[in-house]
Amino acid sequence: MLEYYNYIKSLHLIFVITWFAGLFYIPRLFVYQIEASQKPSPEKEILGTQLKLMAKRLWFIISWPSAILATLFAIWLLILMPGWLEQSWMHVKLGFVVLLFMYHLKCHQIYKQLQQDIVKWSSNQMRMWNEGSTLILFAVIFLVIVRDAVNWIYGVIGIVSLSVALMFGIKLYKRIRDKNPNA
């Protein structure tokens, strides 16, 4: 079965990438849905209907299937390489995977609310929420690639610094957008 390891790993990575693509884009669609809900009729209804359809297709044709397939291939890899479960970096990675699933499930909850025209987030809050998957991606990629080569303290400082930079970027974008609504 080990002769198939590289194929299984490749499929796992492909579905992780498509899963993240969905998780990067779905909050953007949420931002657009929230902003469309504040527009006057008939623009509100036209945009709302189209954005709901786009979100539904993205969520159920790309995001959910990719999450499930990435997970199945990951389990298969762990069956082939059970020694990984004894390594501390894998424990931390699996912790981030749990966090990623929590993020995914929260996105699903937001998706269902917006499909019913229930808006509980501002577009700016959703822009900040959108960065959650980016932070998880950075953490997992660096963890897997460098494993024990980098001190954990530097890793934590790096993720916190990235978070601050992302939040600063969002605030800066909001300020620019407020001055020029067409930006």
Closest C-alpha among 137, 125, 119 to residue 23: 137
Q: What is the CA radius of gyration of the chain?
A: 19
Q: Determine whether the annotation assigns residue 93 to a binding site.
A: yes
The Cα 123–Cα 127 span in angstroms is 6
The Cα 73–Cα 13 span in angstroms is 9
* Cα end-to-end distance, the chain, whole Å: 53
Q: How many CB atoms lie within 10 A of CB 170?
A: 16
DSSP secondary structure code for residue 90 in this structure: H
Q: Determine whether the annotation assigns residue 12 to a binding site.
A: yes
DSSP secondary structure code for residue 148 in this structure: G
Query: What residues are designated binding site for heme?
Result: 12, 93
Query: What residues are designated binding site?
Result: 12, 93
